[in-house]
Amino acid sequence: MNDLGLFILRVVAGGYIMKYGLPKLRDVDGTFAKEFESLEFRPARTYVRRAGLVEVVSGTLIALGGFGPVGPMMLLADMVVAAVATTARAKHFDLDQHEEEALFAAIALLLALGGPGAISADSVLNVRVFDHAWMRYLSVPGALAGAAYMLSKRTPSSNA
């Protein structure tokens, strides 16, 4: 993929991820907290804020092309948590219910493993600390471990 294509992909995907995260940071009426409570994340408001922060930060890093695979791997972990938690609640996997998670996870993998391209903050600022293949490949199991950790924090209600 050429650098202009990567730049467009990063800006669009990063913008949409930020769009999903910002309302969670505000959650004025508690809508997201109720949803997270149903996914067994307690205290729900804390996990809503964490998810919102992860989505805003990962979206920003993706859009800017900064810190190599960090933003994409935060996004991958977030999408894995979303897909697994909603599947656990439904007690079955329905691919049609996880289109966004699958699409964003694929974009995250592409950007983490392939890099942000020449039109990126890392390139402009000559940041090379994350520009190693081994680091990019290790970031994937790191993201999956982070997702597993967050999923382990789910607590079933006592009346379940």
Q: 51-89, pLDDT tens digit by residue?
A: 999 999 999 999 999 999 999 999 999 999 999 999 999
State the residue range of the domain holding 63: 3-152
Q: Is residue 147 part of a domain?
A: yes
Q: Is residue 158 part of a domain?
A: no
Q: Is residue 159 part of a domain?
A: no
Q: Is the pLDDT of residue 160 over 60?
A: no
Q: What's the rounded mean pLDDT across residues 134-152?
A: 96
Confidence of residue 130 (pLDDT cuts 50, 70, 90): confident
Confidence of residue 157 (pLDDT cuts 50, 70, 90): confident
Rounded Cα distance between 124 and 18, Å, is 22
Q: Is residue 157 part of a domain?
A: no
- Angle of CA points 7, 78, 127, to nearest 5°: 40
Domain count within the chain: 1
User: What pTM, to 2 d.p., does this model score?
Assistant: 0.93
Q: Is residue 45 part of a domain?
A: yes
Q: Is residue 36 part of a domain?
A: yes
Q: Is the pLDDT of residue 158 over 80?
A: no
